[in-house]
Amino acid sequence: MSNKNSVGKIDKKYFNFAEPPNELLLESGEKLGPIKVAYETYGTLNDDQSNAILVEHAFSGDAHAAGCYEGDEKPGWWDDLIGPGKALDTDKYFIICSNVIGGCKGSTGPSSIHPGTDKPYALTFPVVTIADMVKVQKHLVNHLGIKKLLSVIGGSMGGMQVLQWVASYPESILSAIPIATTLKHSPQQIAFNEVGRQAVMADPAWLNGNYYDYGQPERGLAVARMIGHITYMSDRSMEEKFSRKLKEKNKNLKFTTDFEVEGYLKYRGDTFVKRFDANSYLYITKAMDYFDLSGDKLIPKNKKPEVRFLVIAFKSDWLYPAYQAQDIVKLLKSRNINTTYCEIDSTYGHDAFLVEIEKESHLIRHFLRSVSGENGESDGYSI
């Protein structure tokens, strides 16, 4: 790679555990095992294992957060944030990112082979929750010999996982950076996910989830992605990017792809089906809808975990609007938790957490310096 601040060529790693009869107990009461976890690491773990940061990916993301694979020059999805000298500085920190269970990018999910049938799980895969995903990550962190994470950071669904770490394992983290996220899905957010699920299941090729021998329900999954992608952008960003521009000089006056925005959404849908599994779409969106850490569920009454927070939101994000981030802050403040809130002025909508790297980097870099005690800025926190 030409970027001198890149982590360079990297390899995907795998962690296997929960072999029968020691399967993982899920929130539903069902058991899952064996489990494979795909993950990547960047930087070096120091001698006392005190510099580890866990990066959480969003809904359709994966473990490939930075660097490039051999023979592939496309960098990871947060490459601008992870690397030498960057906000998540690999000269200082040991960065971990894993693919969630229920996904389709290396970790165990509905497209994985069921050891009892030698066929894909499909809909026999148990329903998993954000808490289950984080429980698996805790096993991975333990496997890596890390007792306490310096920080957990992520945007969107990644932010939900950050909050779940606080709820499930507050003693195992020093700080948390939830970005563009919420304590729970609103009815509108659930509604968008349900429309996407119905689009997938309405495709005749879905075959009640048993399509692996025949090919993806591509049209349904593509439509679901098109719906989702609209929510990732803002009205202003769509106006600036597309306005009412036509693909050709004149209107076709037919039901074809006339407008540039139509072509863009179609492209997004068509490329998505090449990299994502339809059943994983169903499972992960459902996990997001079930997520709820409102009230006393994030931090029980009379509890005050020694976790420091940086909460980030974006003014133009209407999928996870700033008021939902403010609800997180209000809850934390009511528990006297050390919390910093920053609302970034951006026109990119929800996608801003992947785009506004310079603004995020400034906030994250200084926050981590303070948490780790650099330059005497620890505010009483020590590792």
Task: Give the model confidence (pLDDT) of 62-84 as tens digits.
Answer: 999 999 999 888 999 999 999 99
Clarify whether 175 is annotated catalytic.
no
Helix (H, G, I), strand (E, B) or coil at 234: coil
Clarify whether 317 is annotated catalytic.
yes
Query: Structural domains in the chain?
Result: 13-185+292-376 (3.40.50.1820), 189-288 (1.10.1740.110)
**In contact, 136 and 101? CB cutoff 8 Å:** yes
Clarify whether 118 is annotated catalytic.
no
Please state the separation of Cα 162 from the chain's center in Å: 9
Please state the separation of Cα 211 from the chain's center in Å: 26
Residue 249 confidence (pLDDT): 79
Of 151, 156, 172, 346, which one is the catalytic site residue? 156
Residue 51 confidence (pLDDT): 98
Paired tokens of 114: 């069921």
Task: Give the model confidence (pLDDT) of 227-257 as tens digits.
Answer: 999 999 999 999 999 999 998 878 888 888 8
Which residues lie below 8 Å from residue 163, measured CB to CB, with a gap of 6+?
176, 178, 181, 183, 293, 298, 328
Residue 375 confidence (pLDDT): 56
**In contact, 138 and 168? CB cutoff 8 Å:** yes
How much is the pTM?
A: 0.95
Residue 333 confidence (pLDDT): 95
Of 57, 64, 185, 350, which one is the catalytic site residue? 350
Of 132, 258, 317, 351, which one is the catalytic site residue? 317
Which residues lie below 8 Å from residue 301, measured CB to CB, with a gap of 6+?
none
